[in-house]
Amino acid sequence: MNKGSFLSFFTANNSVIMAAILIIIIPISLYFYLQQETESSIRDSIFEQQKRNQIDASKAIATHVESDIELIASRLQALASSPSIMDWDATSNATRTLLNDYYKIINSSTPVDRLFLNDRSGVSVLEIAPLNTTNYTGVNFSFRDWINQTKNTLSPVISDIYLGLDGKNRIAMTYPIIIKNSSGLFYNGLVGVVIPVNEFFNFYGNIHDIQSQYLSVLDDKSTIVVHPIPSLVGKPFFESFTQNLTGYNNDLNTLIRTVTSGQPQTLIYDFVNGERLNTGYPVFINGSPKYAVFIVTPTASIYSTVDDIIEKERLQMLALIIGIIAAVLLLIWYLNKVNTTLDKAVRKRTIELEDVNTKLEVANKQIKIHDDMQKEFINMAAHELRNPVQSLLGFSDILRKLNARNKDNDIAHQYKDAIEAISRSSKRLKRLVDIIFDVSQLDNNLLVLNEQSFDLKNTIQNLVNNYQALNILSLNYKREISNNDSSLTKKHIIDFDYSDYPPSSNYVRGDESYLTQVLTNLIDNAIEFTQSESKVKIKIIRNIHKDKVIVTISDNGYGIHPDVLPLLFTKYVKKSKGGAGLSLYISKKIIEAHGGEIWAKNNEDGIGATFGFSLPLEKN
């Protein structure tokens, strides 16, 4: 889109300009509003996730430290129980080889400075240490508390942090060598390892850089074992030196006491140089809390990470909104051009449609006039034809009776067929006139119902009895079918099956004569379209839940053609070559005038059809 066409687009239609401005302003304003509302919750959510991760990390480190210390203790126990150590063969090559093997095994998983063997006086008699390191064989270490504690308790000991002779902070782990004889148990020395503190805990996390997340460890006496500030290592946390540095922070002091006593704890607190997130977890040795592991994170680093994530999301969302706005503006421009083209086509088409509508209005008026004239003619014809038809019926009946009295007369015999034809044609003409009259009354809403209360079940039963009586008298039901110029007679044996479920009275209020006409129409249809050896079934169902009675009439005939079925109850729709196609239309109008419904369908087994109607039950 060139610049000229773009400017012409915006200057062509003020409403388009306003729409474009709104499309730009509303999404961006909504974006900034929602961004401010959601960023706080997002920040809190990410921070909480970081907090949970740090708690899990503290627990994992504590578990790992506990496992490593217990593993060293179990190996010292195995070493102290070995035969060469128990026999105190301290200077033999076998003992040295044994200590050397255990040193390699322990050092493969945990960094240790040396593995040593002391006699009962605390003198080092054998040690394994890296080359080029000071050898302390022959040195008396009885001045160390952990040496005497091992001797006095006859139990393994983990020492407090101490400053080695070389100036490095260490902890020692010892296991007593106990001899058992007839006099009882007596102390015969110990085996132990010296663990450099920094190397040991550096494996689990950062212990040097205080500006980022770091690891701090305290022992069960609240002495600082590991910390990025070297001057704090070895200092009791609750003494003045450390408390001056922490500002006597009561929240932090409570955290330290809680974790060193054996309970995990998390705290966010203000420190001298910023806010901190501190998660602590105890390390249990032999069922007692020996160390407390703390992961400390400056919250500024967490928020910095969170802000980076939010900033990336913000830029992505803003880019998406700008892209959508550009696409929408382009779409508006395109639609405006299309709309201009369509507007011209619509105006042209509107003019054409107005001309067509004018012609249609004239045509509709002419059709209405023609329809009114047709109805008026049908109504008049129905009225005017009733009297002459009645006369024809009367005179044809007189002729039949006269001819019957003179049946032996040749003249009477000669005109017998003609008189019968006149009688039949008069009756058919009367039926047609009656149908036309009924249609005229229904179309003009002039149907007058002679309403009364009657039992529909009895009405149907009487009608069925009439059909059955005709069957009994003639044995066969006959009807004439017009086929070109010939007249054929097709015989039907009718077997009516009448069902009433549940057995009860079915009182309705309506015109019994008109409803009988509906039943007759439906039964005649069933008879007309059934095969030889046909069967017509009539069923009454009383639906007490909907306060109505349902009547169905089924046959085993040819069924209803799918093209005819949707139009079955409209005027002049026929299923055969005979008839005017009005009986079902009249039946529908009569049922609806009684507040009911009528329907038809083909049977599910593919044989024959079922017609049915419903009527409201009379309310008590």
Q: What string of DSSP letters covers 486-538?
A: EEEEEEE--EEEEEEES-S--EEEE-HHHHHHHHHHHHHHHHHT--TT-EEEE
- Residue 462 shares a structural domain with residue 533: yes
Segment-wise mean pLDDT, segments of 10 residues, the chain, 620 residues? 50 64 72 66 81 94 94 94 85 88 91 93 92 88 93 94 87 93 86 94 91 93 94 93 90 94 92 86 94 92 73 71 74 76 83 83 76 61 61 69 65 64 67 65 72 90 81 42 37 54 74 92 84 77 83 88 87 59 86 93 91 88
Q: 505: domain CATH number?
A: 3.30.565.10
Cα–Cα distance between 571 and 573 in angstroms, integer?
Answer: 6
Report whether 427 contacts 393 (CB < 8 A).
yes
Cα–Cα distance list, 155 to 110, 127, 177, 378, 554 (Å): 22, 21, 9, 125, 103
Helix (H) or strand (E) holding 552: strand 548-554
Cα–Cα distance between 573 and 287 in angstroms, integer?
Answer: 98
Q: How many domains are contained in the chain?
A: 2
pLDDT at position 483 is 37
484 is a domain residue:
yes
- Residue 381 shares a structural domain with residue 452: no
pLDDT at position 526 is 84
Q: Which residues of 22-37 are buried (b: 16+ CB within 10 A; e: fewer)?
A: ebbeeeeeebeeeeee
Report whether 555 contacts 603 (CB < 8 A).
no
pLDDT at position 282 is 96
576 is a domain residue:
yes
Residues 6+ apart with CB under 8 A from 209: 228
pLDDT at position 364 is 79
Which residue, of 420, 435, 458, is where some domain finishes?
420
Q: State which residues form the domain around 506.
A: 447-616
- Residue 565 shares a structural domain with residue 481: yes
pLDDT at position 33 is 66
pLDDT at position 55 is 94
Residues 6+ apart with CB under 8 A from 246: 252, 253, 271, 272
Cα–Cα distance between 194 and 112 in angstroms, integer?
Answer: 6
Among the listed residues 264, 267, 266, the one whose alpha carbon sits nearest the alpha carbon of residue 275 = 267
- Residue 519 shares a structural domain with residue 595: yes
- Residue 355 shares a structural domain with residue 396: yes
Cα–Cα distance between 606 and 557 in angstroms, integer?
Answer: 10
- Residue 383 shares a structural domain with residue 454: no
- Residue 355 shares a structural domain with residue 502: no
- Residue 463 shares a structural domain with residue 590: yes
- Residue 496 shares a structural domain with residue 609: yes
Q: Per this entry, what is the length of the chain?
A: 620
209 is a domain residue:
no
Helix (H), strand (E) counts: the chain:
14, 20
- Residue 399 shares a structural domain with residue 475: no
Q: What string of DSSP letters covers 231-268?
A: GGTTSBTTSHHHHHHHT--HHHHHHHHHHHTT--EEEE
pLDDT at position 433 is 66
474 is a domain residue:
yes
402 CA to centre of own chain: 87
pLDDT at position 335 is 73
pLDDT at position 598 is 95
Q: In the numeric block, which tokens belong to residue 71?
A: 């593993």
- Residue 394 shares a structural domain with residue 502: no
pLDDT at position 493 is 53
Q: In the numeric block, which tokens belong to residue 227?
A: 């910390």
561 is a domain residue:
yes
pLDDT at position 489 is 40
